[in-house]
């Protein structure tokens, strides 16, 4: 079974530029998550999708971050414009559904450096 795919793996941009990350979850997984992991910290949930609908985006900085999962499969996370403090690893995860206790499967992440 293929795992969660993410691209690109690394990205370096200057502040005020825009960037987009792509995630392909495990086939058949209805729930998709985007996390931000700053160096030395644990992951922080940014947004949770169930199929193509947003379940929770309370920690997504909506003035600069946006995410979509139009067909309920792949998802993109965009930052526009980027700030220095956005430097982090962006992790995508998926689970079969959002029932409590479902194991989340994580992708390898995209490491973003904003200079």
Partner 1 sequence: SQQGEEDPQALSIQEGENATMNCSYKTSINNLQWYRQNSGRGLVHLILIRSNEREKHSGRLRVTLDTSKKSSSLLITASRAADTASYFCATDNAGNMLTFGGGTRLMVKP
Binding residues (CB under 8 A) for partner 1: these are 4, 31, 33, 40-45, 48, 55-56, 91, 93, 95, 97-109
Residue 72 CB, nearest distance to partner 1 (Å)? Answer: 17
Question: Which of residues 70 and 99 has its CB atom nearest to partner 1 in the complex?
Answer: 99
HSE, side-chain direction, 13 A CA sphere, residue 33: 21
- Min. distance of Cβ 64 from partner 1 in angstroms? 20
C-beta of 81 vs 108, nearer to partner 1: 108
Cα distances (Å, whole numbers) of residue 39 to 24, 58, 68, 112: 24, 22, 25, 11
Q: How far apart are CA 42 and CA 76, in angstroms?
A: 22
């Amino acid at each position: 079974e293929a795992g969660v795919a993410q691209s690109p793996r690394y990205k370096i941009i200057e502040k005020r530029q825009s960037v987009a990350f792509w995630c392909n979850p495990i086939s058949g997984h209805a729930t998709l998550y985007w996390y931000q992991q700053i160096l030395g910290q644990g992951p922080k949930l940014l947004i949770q999708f169930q199929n193509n609908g947003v379940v929770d985006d309370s920690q997504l900085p909506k003035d600069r971050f946006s995410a979509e999962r139009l067909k309920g499969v792949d998802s993109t996370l965009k930052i526009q414009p980027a700030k220095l403090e956005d430097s982090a690893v962006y992790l995508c995860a998926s689970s079969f559904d959002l029932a409590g206790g479902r194991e989340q499967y994580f992708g390898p992440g995209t490491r973003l450096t904003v200079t």
